[in-house]
Amino acid sequence: MPKKSACINFDLCSPHVCDNINGNCIAVGACKKKLLEQEDPFEIPNLLSGSLCHGCAACQNACPLHAITIV
Ligand code: SF4
Ligand code: SF4
């Protein structure tokens, strides 16, 4: 069975809604492996390594806009 990993839906992700003051993605801090990164505040986060992501869903659970799914 293929390994699961996080997938960010760019249409649903809105950093300015999650944190309208600093533009920080809440899911970034939820990943203990530090695999999610925002290049700049108010930017949509990137998954740095799909192969290192183990699909734990911590980021998915932290995202208030349901913009992350585990696939
Ligand atoms: S918490 Fe979710 S909606 Fe908010 S910036 Fe991060 S991925 Fe996007
Ligand atoms: S599923 Fe887990 S390991 Fe993968 S990016 Fe999200 S929090 Fe990190």
In this predicted model, what pLDDT tens digit does every residue of 34-63 receive, in sequence order? 999 999 999 999 999 999 999 999 999 999
> Cβ(45) to ligand 1 under 6 A?
yes
User: Which residue, by CA, sits nearest to atom 8 of ligand 1?
Assistant: 13
Residues with CB under 6 A from ligand 2: 5-6, 30-31, 33, 35-36, 47, 53-59, 70
CATH class (in words) of the domain with range 6-70: alpha beta
CA of 3 to the centre of ligand 1 (A): 23
Q: Indicate the residue type of 66.
A: H
Q: What is the pTM of this model?
A: 0.95
Domain boundaries in the chain?
A: 6-70
Per-residue pLDDT, 35: 98
CA neighbor of 33 nearest in space, from 2, 55, 9: 55
Mean pLDDT of the chain: 97
| Distance from the first to the final alpha carbon of the chain | 12
Percent of the residues in the chain that have a pLDDT greater than 90, as a whole number: 96
